[in-house]
Every structure is written in structure tokens, then in C-alpha cells.
């Protein structure tokens, strides 16, 4: 018996060691690219050309200043455009997805089940398969090279809807809505003043996801936006790739990538608990 115990303990210890080694290795893999990025964003072009160093350089602000004032690359416009579009999407998508989920959750009406199933069915259809028609339509509506095609579609977001609906199922009792009705609150006001505050945690998580997804989005914006000053950050990064890479100032290149990546990482680290929980709760890939 004693021997068996010892053996079991040994197995457990070795299992634990293996899992820590694998975890540390994966952590290293996840962090290394960003570490090199951070280091190289602080080094000047000649320094970077000389070879890699694990210590940061002193050119952080020079690189930042250079890339922000680069004449061929409207980076400040890019940041502003990305912020504007992502912010609008986060607000629109959470508000209207909540409204849609509320309609399905709180009311009884004909075809409700059919409409609900329809939204679930279209959830997985990738946006790329209708992009051709989308561009065609935007051309006809004279909306090419404008932000509207990048913002307005976020009102209909089946994935966010699904998450909100699930959240409401476990957190929004019909009794609360009925109580509001007895108090004489109109339906629209009940939604805005009573329902929205109750589902705030879900809204916060989805707003972050919507913001990040739009911030990172490249495919559709690259086909819609033509004017240089209207471009978003991903388009500018792609433009950098198609320019003559070897002639470009590497310090600026790393700095631009850092500008695109690090704000998201910082927000994520501050809110990681909610975000990871949100992923588990939704079980849906964005």
C-alpha cells in the first residue's frame, strides 16, 4: 500500500513538472514575438540593422515622432479612423444586439421561433461570401470610400445577439419587466432604463470584443477605402508590406506595428478576467 502511494505521488509530481514545462514553453512562444517587437520599437534603424539585442534602445520617442510625421503614411489619421470606426461599431453592435435579444427574450409573438432560428442559422455565414455583392451595392449607393459601410452593418451582429440572448436568459427575469409595466413605464423606456443597466456586464464584454474585432479588421475596409487619409491601421500596415520593405526605416516599422498591437494588449491585461470569462460563457469564436 505504501509503495503504491509513493508510486502515485511520483507519477503526480512528474505529471505536474511536465505540465509546467509545457506551459512555460508556450508562454515563452506567446511572449517572444511581442518582446522582440517592444525592444525593436525602441531602437533606431542602424541599431536594428546591426543585429538583435535583448536590451531596449533609446530611440522610442524618435521612432514614434518619425512614424507619426511620416509623409507617405498617414498614421495619425489611421489611428483616428480606426478609433472612430471601432468605437461606433462597439456602441451600435451592443445596443442593437441587446435590443434584438430583448425582443426575442421578453415578447411573445407569431414567428418568434422562426425568426430566432433564422438569426442562429446566419450566425456562421462568413462575411466574405457576400462581399462581392456588398461592394457592388455600395458602388450603386455611392458609399464607396466612406465609413458608413464599415459601421452600419454592425447593427445586425448575430454572434453578439446570441451572447446577449444567453445572458438575458439567466440574468433578466420577466417579473422585472412586468413590474416596470405596472409602474407605467413604456416598452422602449423599460429597455433603455431598466434592461440595459441589468445587462451591463455582458454589454461591456461584447463592446470590448466588437471594438477589438473592428480595430483588427482588414478584408472589407481594404476593399472599401481608397483615400489615403481615410485608411485604417490594418490597411496602412498592409501598405507598408507592399512598399519596398528593405528601404524602410525599421524603427518606424516596428513602432507602427506596436501602435496597432499594444493598446489592445494593455486594455486586455487590465480586463483579462472579464474577457476570458466572456469567452468561456459565449463559447463562440468571434
Count Cβ atoms within 10 A of the Cβ of residue 254 and give its class: 0-12 exposed, 13-18 middle, 19 or more buried: buried
List, as one string, the DSSP characters of 124-149. Answer: T--GGGGHHHHHHHHHHTT-TTSSHH
Q: Is 61 near other proteins (CB under 8 A)?
A: no
Residue closer to other proteins by CB (options 183, 188) is 188
Out of 6, 16, 58, 113, name the contact with other proteins by CB under 8 A. 16
Q: What is the DSSP letter of 192?
A: I
Smallest distance, other proteins to C-beta of residue 24, A: 9
Q: What are phi and psi of 125, to 5 degrees?
A: -70, 120
Out of 99, 144, 194, 196, name the contact with other proteins by CB under 8 A. 99
Out of 83, 135, 194, 198, name the contact with other proteins by CB under 8 A. 135
What is the contact mask toward other proteins in residues 68 to 97, using x (rule: CB under 8 A)?
----------------------------xx
Residue closer to other proteins by CB (options 227, 272) is 272
Contact 48, 250 (CB under 8 A): yes
Smallest distance, other proteins to C-beta of residue 272, A: 4
Residue closer to other proteins by CB (options 20, 61) is 20
Coil/strand/helix, residue 215: helix
Contact region for other proteins (CB under 8 A) — 55-63, 68-76, 196-204, 230-238?
230-238
Q: Is 52 near other proteins (CB under 8 A)?
A: yes
- C-alpha neighbours within 13 Å on the C-beta side of residue 35: 10
Segment 248-277, which members bind other proteins (CB under 8 A)?
A: 250, 253-254, 257, 260-261, 264-265, 268-269, 272-273, 275-276
Contact 148, 89 (CB under 8 A): no
Q: Residue 186, Cα to own-chain centre: how many angstroms?
A: 34
Out of 21, 36, 179, 266, name the contact with other proteins by CB under 8 A. 36
Q: Is 133 near other proteins (CB under 8 A)?
A: yes
Segment 169-228, which members bind other proteins (CB under 8 A)?
A: 178, 181, 187-188, 191, 212, 215-216, 218-219, 223
d(CA 35, CA 37): 5
Contact region for other proteins (CB under 8 A) — 22-30, 61-69, 72-80, 198-206?
22-30
List, as one string, the DSSP characters of 199-245. Answer: THHHHHHHHHHHHHHHHH--HHHHHH--SGGG--HHHHHHHHHHS-G
Amino acid at each position: 500500500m505504501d509503495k503504491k502511494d509513493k508510486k502515485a505521488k511520483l507519477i503526480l509530481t512528474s505529471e505536474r513538472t511536465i505540465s509546467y514545462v509545457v506551459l512555460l514553453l508556450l508562454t515563452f512562444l506567446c511572449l517572444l514575438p511581442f518582446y522582440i517587437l517592444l525592444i525593436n520599437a525602441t531602437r533606431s534603424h542602424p541599431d536594428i540593422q546591426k543585429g538583435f539585442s535583448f536590451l531596449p534602445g533609446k530611440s522610442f520617442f524618435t521612432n514614434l515622432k518619425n512614424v507619426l510625421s511620416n509623409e507617405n503614411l498617414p498614421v495619425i489619421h489611421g489611428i483616428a479612423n480606426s478609433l472612430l470606426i471601432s468605437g461606433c461599431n462597439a456602441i451600435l453592435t451592443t445596443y442593437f444586439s441587446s435590443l434584438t435579444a430583448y425582443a426575442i427574450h421578453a415578447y411573445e409573438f407569431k414567428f418568434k421561433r422562426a425568426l430566432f432560428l433564422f438569426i442562429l442559422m446566419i450566425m456562421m455565414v462568413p462575411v466574405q461570401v457576400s462581399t462581392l455583392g456588398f461592394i457592388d451595392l455600395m458602388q450603386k449607393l455611392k458609399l464607396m470610400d466612406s465609413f458608413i459601410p464599415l459601421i452600419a452593418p454592425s447593427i445586425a451582429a448575430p454572434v453578439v445577439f446570441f451572447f446577449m440572448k444567453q445572458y438575458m436568459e439567466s440574468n433578466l427575469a420577466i417579473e422585472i419587466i412586468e413590474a416596470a409595466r405596472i409602474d407605467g413605464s413604456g416598452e422602449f423606456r423599460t429597455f433603455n432604463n431598466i434592461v440595459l443597466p441589468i445587462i451591463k456586464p455582458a454589454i461591456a464584454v461584447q463592446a470590448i470584443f466588437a471594438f477589438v474585432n473592428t480595430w483588427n479588421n482588414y478584408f472589407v475596409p481594404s476593399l472599401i477605402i481608397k483615400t489615403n487619409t481615410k485608411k485604417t491601421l490594418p490597411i496602412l500596415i498592409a501598405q507598408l508590406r507592399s512598399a519596398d520593405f528593405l528601404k524602410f526605416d525599421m524603427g518606424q516599422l516596428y513602432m507602427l506595428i506596436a501602435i496597432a498591437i499594444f493598446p489592445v494588449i494593455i486594455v486586455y491585461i487590465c480586463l483579462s478576467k472579464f474577457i476570458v470569462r466572456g469567452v468561456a460563457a459565449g463559447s463562440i469564436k468571434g
